[in-house]
Amino acid sequence: MYDAVYTGKLSGNGKYTKKCQHFFEEKYGFKKTLLTTSCTDALEMCAILLDIKPGDEVIIPSYTFVSTAIAFIRQGAKVIFADSERDTPNLDVTKLEALITDKTKVIVPVHYAGVAVDMDPIMELASKYNLFVVEDAAQAIDSFYKGRPLGTIGHLSAFSFHETKNIIAGEGGLLGINDERFVERAEIIWEKGTNRASFFRGEVNKYGWVDIGSSFLPSETTAAFLYAQLENINDIQLKRISLWNSYFDKLKPLKDKISLPEIPSYATCNAHMFFIVCNSIEERNRLIQTLKDNGIYSVFHYLSLHKSQYYLEHFSERPVLEEADKYTDRLLRLPMFYELAEVDLIKITNCILDFYDV
């Protein structure tokens, strides 16, 4: 941070922006990455790059954050909601093909809690119907699908470095590009619709307005903070995975009373969050209150987007998505952050065990 401030360049696309982008490209194998001010911005860049127009359909899970939908709706798309799997909050790929029409343009799998969606069937459908795939990997840094880093499988991807994520910058995001067709235009959109980046590399003798775009670049201080996190990513991940494993081991006696996270054989767990699934919304509410009474803060997560106020006011379709609604009503997130002490984790798990009389 000190170095970023005293170099005299605080605006984006400087030394630390480049260092962060190089880190992701070298470590995970992206063709190109661009830091953004948020994951929402990265998703909006995806919608622009894919030339989304009114009438285009984009398939997303209902159980996700609103940014997954807004990025495409702002370009005029119609979102088609997919249900979650029975055993994980991720998109149910077995029901995906039935949602594809001649208006479908993009599939957006969301890797919930950093655990991979089954990507092979999605990429096969994309190839069969000539569709694009955008991985919403907001929670999925340093997680893998069959040995491949999440975010490197679809045509494009988006990551978050919000303060609630594994690797943080306060606010921040990343656009991952895996298809060469999008590299040049992405940089122009990123630089407010100008070819400014090419100018500073000496590729053109002047720069100007050549496309649509916006101010998607984060400041150098944000990039510097992020790079310090990236330098310590292995230590951060080891600590988080240790906490996740401790949660799982201590709560295993409840496996017949509640649902614990399931990690499919094709996926890894990056320990972004630890959640349990209660048997009803009433049970979850009672558990939240019990934890609160013991000084423990636990929260539910997403509200199904197909039942959101905005969707109900602007769209006539009323899909029935029972699994998404199940997670809306019954999923409970437990405290998970790098500074969480083992003694506090023991207190949390003991409180839950007592609640279920185990």
Read off the tokens for 15: 């030394």
Read off the tokens for 111: 């890797």
Indicate the DSSP class of residue 96: T
Indicate if 128 belongs to the active site: no
Report how far residue 257's alpha carbon sits from residue 4's, in angstroms, rounded to the nearest whole number: 51
Report how far residue 234's alpha carbon sits from residue 101's, in angstroms, rounded to the nearest whole number: 43
**134-155 burial: b if 16+ Cβ within 10 Å, else e:** bbbbbbbbbbbbeeebbbbbbb
Q: Which residues have a Cβ under 8 Å from the Cβ of 138 and sit 6 or more positions away?
A: 39, 65, 67, 110, 158, 159, 160, 162, 165, 173
Contact 113, 63 (CB under 8 A): no
Q: What does the chain come to in residues?
A: 358
Report how far residue 220's alpha carbon sits from residue 229's, in angstroms, rounded to the nearest whole number: 14
- CA-closest candidate to residue 14, choices 169, 222, 210: 222
Using a 10 angstrom Cβ sphere, with 0-12 exposed, 13-18 middle and 19 or more buried, the burial of residue 355 is: middle
Report how far residue 97's alpha carbon sits from residue 95's, in angstroms, rounded to the nearest whole number: 6
Report how far residue 30's alpha carbon sits from residue 21's, in angstroms, rounded to the nearest whole number: 9
Catalytic member of 32, 105, 165, 326: 165
Contact 180, 172 (CB under 8 A): no
Contact 105, 57 (CB under 8 A): yes
Cross-strand bridge partners of residue 81: 60
Cross-strand bridge partners of residue 106: 58, 132
3 state SS of 191 = strand
Report how far residue 122's alpha carbon sits from residue 221's, in angstroms, rounded to the nearest whole number: 38
Cross-strand bridge partners of residue 149: 144
What residues act catalytically? Answer: 165
